[in-house]
Amino acid sequence: MDAITKNRLEIAATKIRMAVIEGTYHAKSGHPGGSLSICDTLAVLYFQHMRVDPQNPGWEDRDRLVLSKGHTAPALYGALAHRGFFPVGDISTLRHIGSHLQGHPDMKGTP
């Protein structure tokens, strides 16, 4: 991996970490430790390897991520927001009533 790519992924992972902290702070609940532990992995997947299109989240041929570690939803939401699937400002609505960002991922509620 070249230095530019590595730096870009490190920046993405840092932004995801910041989203984890922001989301759990505004939710006043959550498991930030587990979420923080997966930020590097999500950065590499969403910003380098996965074939996804934020403008067309229902794209039939997109890659799909099965996140069996559901308590890491804040990190997934951070990755999706910073990848452009929804506004980064939505992170502050984590676990709020009516928000599309709930405590566990929902493929029908979040892109």
- Note the pLDDT tens digit of each residue in 8-62: 999 999 999 999 999 999 999 988 999 999 999 999 999 999 999 999 999 999 9
- Note the pLDDT tens digit of each residue in 75-103: 999 999 999 999 999 999 999 999 999 98
Contact 94, 25 (CB under 8 A): no
Half-sphere exposure of residue 4: CA atoms within 13 angstroms, side-chain side: 0
Contact 85, 51 (CB under 8 A): no
Tokens read off for 86 = 């929804």
Q: Which pLDDT belongs to residue 14?
A: 99
**Whole-number Å distance between alpha carbons of 97 and 61:** 32
Nearest to 41 by CA among 3, 21, 22, 69: 69
Q: Which pLDDT belongs to residue 33?
A: 95
More confident residue, 49 or 110: 49
Q: Which pLDDT belongs to residue 106?
A: 85
Those residues with Cβ within 8 angstroms of residue 99's Cβ, 6 or more apart along the chain or in another chain: 90, 93
**Whole-number Å distance between alpha carbons of 27 and 18:** 14
More confident residue, 36 or 69: 36
Domain assignments of the chain as residue spans, ordered by start: 3-93
Q: Which pLDDT belongs to residue 18?
A: 99
State the pLDDT confidence band at 1, using cuts at 50, 70 and 90: confident
